[in-house]
Amino acid sequence: MDLSLTRADILIVGAGIAGASLAAEIGDGARVILIEGEDQPGYHSTGRSAAFWSETYGGPSIQPLTSASLAPLRDGGFLKPRGCLHVAGTDAGRAALDRLAAEFAGTGVVLEPIDRAGIERWVPGTRADRDTGLYEPSCADIDVAALHADYLGKARRTGTQIVRSARLLGAVHAGDGWVVETTAGRFAADILVNAAGAWADDVAKLAGGAPIGIQPYRRTVIQLAVDPPAPADLPLVMDAEELFYFKPEAGKLWLSPHDETPCDPCDAAPEELDVAIAIDRMEHAVDWRILKREHAWAGLRSFSPDRAPIYGFDVQVPGFFWCAGQGGFGIQTAPAAAALAAALLLGRGVPVGLDPERYAPGRFRS
């Protein structure tokens, strides 16, 4: 026996929201080591979220996970009511609203038709061409930092060892388990979990497996001071054609051009062109005056080829488990996704209402 190896039943690569929530959900059901390549867990996508929970965001493949996450997020005190107004001012936008309503018909997700007068009541200063909308009352803000910290705390209290600055160098499956090399030392585990976000395909290759085709996309957010000031009760405003969205945040406005620029895994930074596009699109939607651009940042949203997340054991590599491809929806789906992944890992009953085949990695393997 190699006594230099730190041993566990499950080793999770990545301590963002996916890895942290999974470790917390496993709890004392197994010995867990959670490794993070950065000095600070949640440095990348988790720490750069636009911080909202929306049952329509991500479409019908994401909605079951989002809706199943409502109760734990609400009961944990991580949600604050916000509401979302989907708006349109063109034929293409109105058609997009019709598709949105059709997609979620019969799901229990409430979408209320809003006319021009209703839009103006919700968002004073909306330009006259924005004449059609759908209001999603269940939409809420998420306290992302508190949620992530809560998961990390729960994981620690149930025995998870969290190792920072532990960038994965390689992993070999030998006999009945894994030997994992990192910049923070060597580890051994029965199961290796890939919760590495934008780096998920890289982790698969380092473990001797095949990538699935997870593609990171850059998403930009800008914080603005506007006149009149953003009302505290302003809903999240989402353009039906996905040209922009904005929401209030502590008296300021958070604005995104809803960009999806493919890129390599990286420490994402905003591009000036994306910032300019976002501001131009907002100015065509509302007549507010921009007083100051205060801050801009970018994060990575990583999608599988069919844009649904991946939870389950790889069909080709023994003991290799995927918890990846969450797109921009990993935070709003974290409770249900972690419960599903933990059930699959530990042989527990799958949460009611969730179909594991919908998210299985085998759907990408011929």
- Burial string for 18-27 (b: 16+ CB within 10 Å, else e) reads bbbbbbbbbb
| Phi, psi angle pair for 83, to nearest 5° | 80, 150
The answer to whether the CB of 138 falls within 8 A of the CB of 56 is no
Q: How far is the C-alpha of 19 from the C-alpha of 1, rounded, in Å?
A: 28
pLDDT tens figures, 119-137: 999 999 999 999 999 999 9
Instruction: Give CA–CA dist 154/156, Å, rounded.
Output: 5
Pick the CATH number of 89-137+215-303 from 3.30.9.10, 2.60.120.260, 3.50.50.60, 1.20.81.30: 3.30.9.10
Q: What is the CATH number of domain 6-46+144-213+306-364?
A: 3.50.50.60
SS3 of residue 229 by DSSP:
coil
Low-confidence spans in the chain with pLDDT less than 70 = 1-4
Largest CA distance in the chain: 73
The pLDDT of residue 1 is 42
pLDDT of 30 reads 98
Helices (H), the chain: 17-26, 63-68, 70-75, 91-103, 116-122, 144-157, 200-206, 272-283, 334-346
Q: Is 134 helix (H, G, I), strand (E, B) or coil?
A: strand
Give per-residue pLDDT as tens, 314-358. 999 999 999 999 998 999 999 999 999 999 999 999 999 999 999
Name residue, tokens 């989402």: 238
DSSP structural state of residue 126: B
CB-based burial of residue 120 (10 Å sphere; 0-12 exposed, 13-18 middle, 19+ buried)? middle
Apex 222 CA angle, 301 and 89, nearest 5? 85
Amino acid at 72: P
Residue boundaries of the structural domains of the chain: 6-46+144-213+306-364, 89-137+215-303
